[in-house]
């Protein structure tokens, strides 16, 4: 888990304060503790409850970024024993940040009536509690629509960065695919033959099938599956790259996917259609730009359902291994899925991701810094 100081960005070090586990900045900028730890330190839940209530009701300025989830924290001002404290509170994960000498200014608890557990035992219990909280957090998807998507085997995006602009390029590309399907589904077989990418005739129609094949789909299931992945992962990549570069990523990934498919099956006369080539490029860029975002999956066994979460980078590695395996199994053999096209788009997306990773990180960091001083009501993610 990457836990960083909201003041200097340094990795926080685990430590104890009055027997309670926390994380402190090695540069001395402060300490991060949970709301439950504050409640224990005060010995009276009234202060912690008032602090939390004021944070939830506050419409004031943001504090720094949360050390745990990197979400902007709410700045709460309280009077404690004649002193004014300005505390940073994360309303998402109940983490608090205390600048130097602020933690010491909290109300003092009454003398303990019973001896406390040894630090080692408390650390074990605290780590167990953290693991249990994380497991519970990832156990269920965040909303009703996610249950439906997960039950159909689709991944659920958890903890993705907040969007800073409307992803209209993603929506436009999805709309083109849907409209194309609506106007072609009644004579789909003929349209696919005329406008799909045929490796043995790749330059027919002056090479236009490289483009037209990207926006055609072979059925409603094919269309819905591709649009789900595009809408889930495309919005964040568009936000990170900016609209012009994102559009270029889509087109170039689709072209690369088609070229690798042709290289693998140069004599094939089977038309290939679908957006999965450029969507693979988008997913690859997403895994590079947002490797720590949690991807939740539903494991199904008869009537038993189990949700689990893995980092986006690991989910992408598993997906690439599967695509590589299927590509080897179907090499020079006609198959219902163009796995080579998936690999082609993904490899181009990876190249773009690693080439622009530092630029994207600096861009996102600048946006987060600007957002930290904005009003809470201005933060939103568009869907």
Q: Kindly report, residue by residue over 45-85, the tens digit of the pLDDT.
A: 777 788 778 877 776 667 778 888 888 888 888 777 777 77
In this structure, what token pair is assigned to residue 300? 């199904």
Q: Quote the pLDDT of residue 240.
A: 92
* 1 belongs to a structural domain: no
Do 82 and 38 reside in the same domain of the chain? yes
* 121 belongs to a structural domain: no
pLDDT tens, residue by residue, 238-259? 999 999 999 999 999 999 999 9
Do 174 and 287 reside in the same domain of the chain? yes
Do 189 and 309 reside in the same domain of the chain? yes
Do 70 and 202 reside in the same domain of the chain? no
Question: What's the whole-number mean pLDDT along residues 190-208?
Answer: 90
pLDDT band at 381 (very low <50, low <70, confident <90, very high): very low
Classify residue 140 by burial, with Cβ atoms within 10 Å: 0-12, 13-18, 19+. middle
3-state secondary structure of 296: strand
Q: What range defines the domain where residue 23 resides?
A: 13-116
Q: Quote the pLDDT of residue 345.
A: 93
Flag whether pLDDT at 371 surpasses 50.
yes
Residue 126 phi/psi, 5-degree rounding, is: -65, -45
Q: Quote the pLDDT of residue 34.
A: 85
Do 190 and 78 reside in the same domain of the chain? no
* 7 belongs to a structural domain: no
Do 148 and 109 reside in the same domain of the chain? no
Residue 356 phi/psi, 5-degree rounding, is: -110, 10
Choose the most confident range, by mean pLDDT, from 55-64, 119-128, 279-288, 305-314: 279-288
Do 252 and 171 reside in the same domain of the chain? yes
3-state secondary structure of 97: strand
Q: Residue 222 and residue 341: Cα distance in Å, rounded?
A: 15
pLDDT tens, residue by residue, 337-356? 788 889 999 999 999 999 99
Choose the most confident range, by mean pLDDT, from 90-94, 167-171, 202-206, 370-374: 167-171
Classify residue 284 by burial, with Cβ atoms within 10 Å: 0-12, 13-18, 19+. buried
162 secondary structure, DSSP code: P
CATH number at residue 341: 1.20.1540.10
Judge contact between 274 and 226, C-beta under 8 A. Answer: yes
Could you give the number of structural domains in the chain? 2
What H or E segment, with its residue span, contains residue 145?
helix 144-151
**How distant, in Å, are the alpha carbons of 190, 205, 249, 366 from that of 353?**
37, 32, 10, 19
**How distant, in Å, are the alpha carbons of 165, 168, 171, 285, 373 from that of 243?**
10, 8, 12, 14, 25
Q: Other CB atoms closer than 10 Å to residue 9's CB: what's the count? A: 12
* 362 belongs to a structural domain: yes
Which residue matches tokens 């994102």?
A: 246
Q: Quote the pLDDT of residue 241.
A: 93
The model carries a pTM of: 0.60
What is the residue-averaged pLDDT of the chain? 82
* 383 belongs to a structural domain: no
* 359 belongs to a structural domain: yes
Q: Quote the pLDDT of residue 383.
A: 35
């Amino acid at each position: 888990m990457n836990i960083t100081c909201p003041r200097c960005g340094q990795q926080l070090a685990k430590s104890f304060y009055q027997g309670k586990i926390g994380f402190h900045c090695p540069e001395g900028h402060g300490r991060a503790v949970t709301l439950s730890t504050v409640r224990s330190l005060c010995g009276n839940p009234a202060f912690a409850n008032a602090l939390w209530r004021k944070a939830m009701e506050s419409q004031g300025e943001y504090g720094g970024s949360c050390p745990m989830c990197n979400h902007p924290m709410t700045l709460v001002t309280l009077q404690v024993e004649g002193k004014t404290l300005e505390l940073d509170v994360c309303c998402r994960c109940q983490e608090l940040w205390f600048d130097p000498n602020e933690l010491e200014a909290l109300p003092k608890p009454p003398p303990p009536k019973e001896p406390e557990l040894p630090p080692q035992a408390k650390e074990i219990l605290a780590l167990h509690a953290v693991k249990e909280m994380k497991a519970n957090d990832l156990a269920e998807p965040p909303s009703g629509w996610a249950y439906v998507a997960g039950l159909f085997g689709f991944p659920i995006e958890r903890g993705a960065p907040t969007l800073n602009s409307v992803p209209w390029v993603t929506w436009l590309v999805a709309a083109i695919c849907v409209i194309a399907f609506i106007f072609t589904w009644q004579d789909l077989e003929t349209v696919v033959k005329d406008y799909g990418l045929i490796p043995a005739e790749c330059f027919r129609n002056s090479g236009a099938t490289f483009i037209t094949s990207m926006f055609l789909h072979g059925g409603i299931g094919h269309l819905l599956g591709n649009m789900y992945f595009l809408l889930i992962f495309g919005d964040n990549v568009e936000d990170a790259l900016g609209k012009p570069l994102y559009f270029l990523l889509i087109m170039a990934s689709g072209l690369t996917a088609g070229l690798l498919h042709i290289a693998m099956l140069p004599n094939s006369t089977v038309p290939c259609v679908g957006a999965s080539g450029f969507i693979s490029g988008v997913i690859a860029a997403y895994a590079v730009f947002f490797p720590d975002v949690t991807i939740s999956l539903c494991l199904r066994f008869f009537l038993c359902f189990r949700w689990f979460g893995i980092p986006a980078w690991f989910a992408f590695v598993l997906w690439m291994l599967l695509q590589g395996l299927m590509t080897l199994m179907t090499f020079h053999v006609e198959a219902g899925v163009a796995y080579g096209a998936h690999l082609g788009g993904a490899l181009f997306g990876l190249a773009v991701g690693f080439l622009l990773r530092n630029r994207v990180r600096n861009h996102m960091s600048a946006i987060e810094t600007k957002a930290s001083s904005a009003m809470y009501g201005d933060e939103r993610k568009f869907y």
